[in-house]
Amino acid sequence: MKYLTHSLVIFASILLIETGIISLATWSLPNQIEFALLHNLKFFFELFSSNPSAAIDLLFIYKPVLIIQRIDPLSNSQAWGIYVMPISTITLLILALFITWMKHSSSSPRLWAWLFLASILLSASVFYLRAQVCCTVNPAWLLDVILLSRIYNPVLNSVYWQDIYLLITPWFKTIQLLMATVSLLILYLCFTSSQSSRHKKP
C-alpha cells in the first residue's frame, strides 16, 4: 500500500510539474480541473453494448481522463488546457511505479540523472494540450502546440517557422515514438544497472 501511495504521489507530482511549466509559459494559473472520463458514462455503456470497438476507441484513445485548464473569466472560454489522455495516464503511472522502485533499489546519482532524462523524454512524448493562442480546436501534442504558438505569434512569427512546421508535421508520430523508445531504453538500462549493483553488494 505504501509503495502504491508513493507511486501516486510521484504521478501527481509529474502532472504538477507539467502544469507549472505551462503556467510559467502563459503567466496564468489553472482554475479548473475536469474529470472528463466521468462525463457521459451512461453514453459509453450504451455505445459499448452496441459498438464495442467504437466505445473502446473513444474511451481509451480520444477521450481524456483529466483536463487541467485555465478558463478565461471574461470570455468563459478555455485559455489553455492540459489533456491527460489514457495513453498519458498509463505511461505516467508506469513511470511513477518505476521511479518508486528505483527509489528503494538505487541511490546512484548517475542512475538518477539518467532516470531524470528518461522521465522528461517519456512525459513529453505523451504530453497533450490545447492553447487558445494557437487556435487548436482539439488537444495536440506538445511540439505541435509550441510550433503553432510561434506561427500565430505576431512578434515571433516568420516564414521559417511555417516552413519548419510544414516540414516536420508528418513526422510528429515518429518523433513521439522515437522519444518514447529512447526513454524506455534508458529506463531499461537503469533497471539492469541497478540490478547489477544490487547483486554485487555483499
What tens digit of pLDDT does each residue of 113-139 get? Answer: 999 999 999 999 999 988 876 655 778
Contact 60, 86 (CB under 8 A): yes
Give the chain's domain count: 1
Count of beta carbons in the 10 Å neighbourhood of residue 100: 20
Q: What is the mean pLDDT of residues 31-42?
A: 80
List 32's β-bridge partners, or say none.
69
**Which domain does 124 fall in, by range?**
2-200
At 59, phi and psi to the nearest 5?
-75, -40
Q: Which of 181, 83, 78 is nearest to 140 (CA)?
A: 83
Contact 93, 84 (CB under 8 A): no
Specify whether the backbone of 138 is left (phi greater than 0), alpha (psi in -120 to 50) or beta.
beta
Is pLDDT above 90 for 39? Answer: no
Is pLDDT above 80 for 24? Answer: yes
Is pLDDT above 60 for 55? Answer: yes
Q: What is the mean pLDDT of residues 23-27?
A: 86
Is pLDDT above 70 for 157? Answer: no
- Please give the pLDDT value at position 16: 93
High-pLDDT (> 90) share of the chain, %: 33
Count of beta carbons in the 10 Å neighbourhood of residue 51: 12
Contact 87, 62 (CB under 8 A): no
